[in-house]
Structure 1
Amino acid sequence: MHQMSPAMQGCIDECLRCYQACLGMASNRCLPAGGSHVQPEHFRLMLACAEICRTSAHLMLLGLPEHKHTCRACAEVCEACAASCEAVGDMQDCVTQCRRCAETCRTMAA
């Protein structure tokens, strides 16, 4: 069985937390709030962020070296999502989690 480094386990944890934060906030805060919270570009970015986080965690759990590619993409999408959530406002939990995930993903992609 493939031995997982503490750094990789940490990244998996951050990705799964970000997945949960983005999907949960999109469903439970943005949809009911309406307005700028459901602008198509912002809302799609939140869903894309949740998905790339889930996918990155999945590839790391499988132990595939290709996780470097998904982690690189994940970091970029997380940064874009954080910026979008910051611009919309009242989404600090999502902003914080996206930035934490982006940081750990950049490390795993290196």
Structure 2
Amino acid sequence: MASPHMQKCIDDCLACYQTCLSMAMNHCLELGGEHVAKEHLTLMMACAEMCRTAAHFMIIGSDHHPYVCAECAEICEQCAKDCERLGDMEACVAACGKCAASCREMAIPMTASGA
């Protein structure tokens, strides 16, 4: 059973996964233009998948979750910046920011242990 702290991160990761995937496949495709540029859609898909993977690692209790969470935070931050740059993607920016912050906290034990 996940601690309340870990459960919050799992919830934030799953919410970001849902938001990024949904916005990419609906909002971005409907808007077109820069919103469907390969770099942007690839980043959104990578973010969604990384969030789902981070949640999965925490749910199964993998000792590797701090590493996965550290990478998830990096990708979420990049995705938030790109979505903010394009505009009209506030939900994605918010979900990515929240997930990045939660994942950074879950990654702290990794950096504290010197790994």
Q: Report the alpha carbon displacement of residue 65 of structure 1 after superposing the two structures with TM.
A: 1.1
The residue that corresponds to 2:8 in the other structure is 10
The residue that corresponds to 1:29 in the other structure is 27
Partners of 2:63 and 2:19 lie apart in 1 by 26
Identify the match of residue 82 of structure 1 among 80, 84, 92: 80
What TM-score does the superposition give when structure 1 sets the normalisation length?
Answer: 0.97
What TM-score does the superposition give when structure 2 sets the normalisation length?
Answer: 0.92
Amino acid at match of 2:42: R
Partners of 1:58 and 1:93 lie apart in 2 by 23
What does residue range 92-103 of structure 1 map to in structure 2 within 5 Å?
A: 92-103=90-101
DSSP 3-state at the match of 1:90: coil
Amino acid at match of 2:86: V
Q: Report the alpha carbon displacement of residue 4 of structure 1 after superposing the two structures with TM.
A: 1.5
Q: Percent identity?
A: 56
Gaps of 5+ in 1: none
Runs of 4+ in 1 over 4 A off after TM superposition: none
Q: Report the alpha carbon displacement of residue 39 of structure 1 after superposing the two structures with TM.
A: 0.9
Gaps of 5+ in 2: 109-115
DSSP 3-state at the match of 2:62: coil
Aligned residues: 108
Amino acid at match of 1:14: D
Partners of 1:107 and 1:8 lie apart in 2 by 9
Q: Report the alpha carbon displacement of residue 28 of structure 1 after superposing the two structures with TM.
A: 0.8
Partners of 2:63 and 2:107 lie apart in 1 by 10
DSSP 3-state at the match of 1:4: coil
Partners of 1:24 and 1:109 lie apart in 2 by 26
Partners of 1:73 and 1:47 lie apart in 2 by 14
Partners of 2:35 and 2:3 lie apart in 1 by 37
